[in-house]
Amino acid sequence: MSKIVFINPSTVTYWNSKVMNILNYPQTADAPNLPAMALAALTPEKYSFTYVDEVIDEVDYTVEADLIVIMAKIQTAVRAYEIAGEFRKRGKTVIIGGGHCAVAREEVSRHCDCVMVGEGENLWPAILEDFENGGLKKVYSPEEYPCAEKLISPNIHIINFKYYDSFPIQATLGCPYDCEFCAAEHSGGRIYKTKPVEQVAAEILEYEKLNQNDFKADKKSYRFVDSNLYVNRTYLKELLTMLKPLGIKWEGQGTVNIADDEEILRLMAESGCRGFSIGIESIRPESLAEVNKVKTNQVDQYETCIRNLSKVGVIPRGFFIFGFDSDDVTVFQEAFSFIERSGLIDVVSNILTPCPGTGLYDRLKHRMFNFNYKFNYKDDNFWSIVFTPKKMSADDLMLGHWWLGAKILDLDFIWAQLKKHWNYGPWENIPQLTLRERIALVKAAARLGRHRMYKSQKFALRAAFYPKTSDFKRIIRHIRVSELTSIIPPVKNPAL
Ligand code: SF4
């Protein structure tokens, strides 16, 4: 029987958090890799397969296997190449798939025997057949294989449930918008595909069934990995209505204008949505216009949208980008004032990065000072600067970005924002902390104090004694994430 090893590469491991060790709190990984689970579902029974998630497992380069399949994201591409190189040195056949292949297929092809571009549904059966016949091609792409009608359900039996905090679900694929920086179009296409809601329900029920032995009830949570849930309103209504009786908690992402839609907001809350990521991108209309993000984003509506999500108990996570040509050094303070005012708690800040294959890359490639594109994969983020915006220097962009990073991860700031959010509640279906959880936080504070982590200690104590605190796991997560501030150098706002 031929054996396949699916690998999710990662430069980040979740098992070395000092603060989690101090708290004696079980360390869990993010959601497992959905594309790997989808390929496993498409693999015929005559193959055996295993799943290695580098977030929690070590890669065994001596493993007996006929085929190594590595799923690469843009952020993990360099690590994927390293793993591929080690296996190829040992004579193994390596396939690389995942979102990165859609934007950098030529680069990927230099590191493996075969590149799989786009959805596995279309390509995987042909790849396996060619492999068996000794005729594996260098590249398989959706241009040669028409889009599958149906989105596949993943094989969730390949993952080790006890290590994961949430489980990925995909209900839709693609996005019809054309934001210049976005690579979603290349992996999912502009034609929006939807999975029948009954199929989504069956996947969740399957997760719940397998979950029972390994997971406590409070750990159940799902993450919709769809690029944009708010495209087909009729479908979304049907999906949310289906989710309601399942009693799950979930998070998802979509465009900010979802929060203009009262009926959808209500259904989101009723169906267990606890967090929703929205692409704010910029608080300057001219920057949005630069990258064609004007169809969905109205700057003067942002604050209302964020408030609308908070009002129904959904915590908004705002994604920001800096480094547009319209950005000058004052943009960081402007963004921070907006974040503070709007009540945003979770903020993700990135630097404008032209990914190969996007319109942004075509427009800016002549200005990139690291043209071979080996610039920031290792950091697992978009925090490196590859071109200089017109109105500030690259150094000021980096300083401003670090300055903002330190501000938004500061636990005093997060505490103030959390209180604003809870003051919209209480919500019927979102319980406040139990006495047991409050005692656990007091004990955690004592441990943090013994290690002189006084900011975290103060945060834990505030959460323990504030009557409206909800979501114990979120409190722990903020303490965990605040560790990141230790890697941020002390910098001044370049505008000051
Ligand atoms: S709306 Fe979101 S997913 Fe769609 S193209 Fe724009 S950034 Fe990408």
* Helix or strand holding residue 193 (H, E): strand 193-194
Q: For residue 11, give the amino acid letter.
A: T
Q: Is 310 in the pocket of ligand 1 (CB under 6 A)?
A: no
As a whole number of angstroms, the longest Cα–Cα distance in the chain is 66
Burial class from Cβ neighbours inside 10 Å (0-12, 13-18, 19+) for residue 436 reads exposed
Q: Residue 148: its pLDDT value, please?
A: 63
Ligand 1 atom index nearest CA of 255? 1
Q: Is 179 in the pocket of ligand 1 (CB under 6 A)?
A: yes
Beta-bridge partner residues of 70: 7, 96
Cis upstream peptide for 426 (omega within 30°)? yes
Q: Is 279 in the pocket of ligand 1 (CB under 6 A)?
A: yes
CA of 487 to the centre of ligand 1 (A): 30
Please state, as a whole number, how many other Cβ atoms lie within 10 Å of the Cβ of residue 77. 26
CA of 232 to the centre of ligand 1 (A): 14
Query: Directed axis angle between helix 394-409 and helix 411-422, to 10°?
Result: 60
Q: Provide the strand spans (E) within 285-339.
A: 315-322
Q: Residue 409: CB partners within 8 Å, gap ≥ 6? A: 481, 482, 484, 485, 488
CA of 378 to the centre of ligand 1 (A): 24
Given a contact cutoff of 8 angstroms between Cβ atoms, the answer to whether 30 and 165 are in contact is yes
* Helix or strand holding residue 173 (H, E): strand 172-173
CA of 277 to the centre of ligand 1 (A): 12
Q: Is 229 in the pocket of ligand 1 (CB under 6 A)?
A: no
Q: Is 184 in the pocket of ligand 1 (CB under 6 A)?
A: yes
Distance CA 128, CA 11 (A): 29
Q: Is 228 in the pocket of ligand 1 (CB under 6 A)?
A: yes
Given a contact cutoff of 8 angstroms between Cβ atoms, the answer to whether 483 and 17 are in contact is yes
Ligand 1 atom index nearest CA of 228? 3
CA of 372 to the centre of ligand 1 (A): 26
Distance CA 143, CA 117 (A): 9
Alpha-helical segments (H) within 159-253: 184-188, 197-211, 233-243
Task: Kindly list the structural domains of the chain, giving each domain's residue range(s) and its CATH number in brackets, ordered by start.
Answer: 3-140 (3.40.50), 165-422 (3.20.20.70), 435-487 (no CATH)
Q: Is 154 in the pocket of ligand 1 (CB under 6 A)?
A: no
Residue nearest to atom 3 of ligand 1 (CA): 227
Sign of the four-CA dihedral 361, 366, 370, 373: positive
SS3 96: strand
Ligand 1 atom index nearest CA of 178? 5
SS3 320: strand
Distance CA 168, CA 253 (A): 12
SS3 content of the chain, % helix, strand, coil (to 5): 45, 15, 40
CA end-to-end span of the chain, whole Å? 66
CA of 182 to the centre of ligand 1 (A): 6
pTM of the model: 0.92
| Residue pLDDT tens, the chain, 496 long | 789 999 999 876 656 677 877 887 777 777 899 999 999 999 999 999 999 999 888 999 999 999 999 999 877 888 899 999 999 999 999 999 998 888 788 889 999 999 999 878 789 999 999 999 999 999 998 776 656 667 889 999 999 887 888 899 999 988 999 899 997 766 567 788 899 999 999 999 999 888 764 444 455 689 999 999 999 999 999 999 999 999 999 999 999 999 999 999 999 999 999 999 999 999 999 999 999 999 999 999 999 999 999 999 999 999 999 999 999 999 999 999 999 999 999 999 999 988 877 899 899 988 887 544 444 444 445 567 888 999 999 989 989 999 999 999 999 999 999 999 999 999 988 999 999 999 999 999 999 999 999 999 999 999 999 999 999 989 998 998 887 777 677 788 988 8
Distance CA 395, CA 179 (A): 26
Pocket test for ligand 1, best of 255, 278, 294, 295 (most atoms within 8 A of CB): 255
Residue nearest to atom 8 of ligand 1 (CA): 182
Ligand 1 atom index nearest CA of 182? 8
Residue nearest to atom 1 of ligand 1 (CA): 177
Q: Residue 149: its pLDDT value, please?
A: 66
Q: Residue 31: its pLDDT value, please?
A: 86
Q: Residue 376: CB partners within 8 Å, gap ≥ 6? A: 353, 382, 383, 384, 386
Distance CA 63, CA 141 (A): 28
Q: Residue 15: its pLDDT value, please?
A: 60
Distance CA 141, CA 146 (A): 9
Residue nearest to atom 6 of ligand 1 (CA): 179
Q: Residue 415: its pLDDT value, please?
A: 98
SS3 230: coil
